[in-house]
Amino acid sequence: MHTSRDTVRLLCKSIITRLENDKAITFPPRLRQVVQDEVYGLIGPYILTEEDLRDKTLARIGAKADELEGSEYSDSDRYKAAKAVIKGTFGDDELNGLYFQKPMKEVAKSVAGYMMRSSHIDDVFESDDALEKQVVDTIKKFDAANVH
């Protein structure tokens, strides 16, 4: 499955829906899109997609293409090598085609902090730790192919 920025938006929607369905948070339905957009703005920059990875890889190859000119590597070999180097910077923080720039626990902590201080959230019925656990669980179970 190919991931894109829309995949990250779907993840944010899933997180909000899960917290709401679990009665961990309440907010006016008319603010749903605002809350989703704010969560996306908060954690989106820390989650790269396969599309982002491809763009970074191509940019890296472009910057180094002149150095590789005349070598026996084909373009696809160069691409694979550059992609491997870039992917290697993520360690274990890749899940279903999403590459986390920060550990999931930190991403979850950001979401929990947002829930606690946002003027768009009416009530939070869970502790920070419980919210973080629900967010991490949602991220780990997230599969864009199964989101409707």
The pLDDT of residue 90 is above 80: no
Q: Return the domain boundaries, the chain.
A: 5-69+76-143
User: Do strands 47-49 and 25-26 pair parallel, antiparallel, or not at all (unpaired)?
Assistant: unpaired
Cut 0.85: pTM above it: no
Residue pLDDT, tens place only, 106-131: 999 999 999 999 999 999 999 999 99
87-97: average pLDDT:
73
